[in-house]
Amino acid sequence: MSRTLGQVLRMVGLLIELAGILALVLWGQATEGGNAPGGLSPRGAWVVVGVGFVLWLGGTILTYWPRPRPSLSSSAETERRSERLL
């Protein structure tokens, strides 16, 4: 998996968290005490926030996990070996 995928997962996770927090805020402003707009209960909104956090965390791990250095191409390795033999 690439670092680009990690960045995309981080952004998607943040957007999902934002949607869950926005649902909680709108639910708190509801005067009748029902569900938030979109039909989410407060517990469901917290689940959405948690899923967003897990996606963000997975993206962060993919982005910053240490990777081995790229190896030389096979043609460059062949040239180095032939130089050693001469």
Domain that holds residue 33: 3-85
d(CA 22, CA 26): 6
CA distances from 61 to 6, 13, 14, 45, 66 (A): 7, 13, 15, 25, 9
The pLDDT value recorded for residue 26 is 77
Q: Please, which pLDDT band fits residue 57 given cuts at 50, 70 and 90?
A: very high
**Structural domains counted in the chain:** 1
32-41: pLDDT as tens digits: 566 656 667 7
What are the b/e assignments for 4-39, b being 16+ CB within 10 Å?
eebeebbeebeebbebbeebbeebeeeeeeeebeee
Give Cα 69 to chain centroid, integer Å.
Answer: 23
pTM for this entry: 0.68
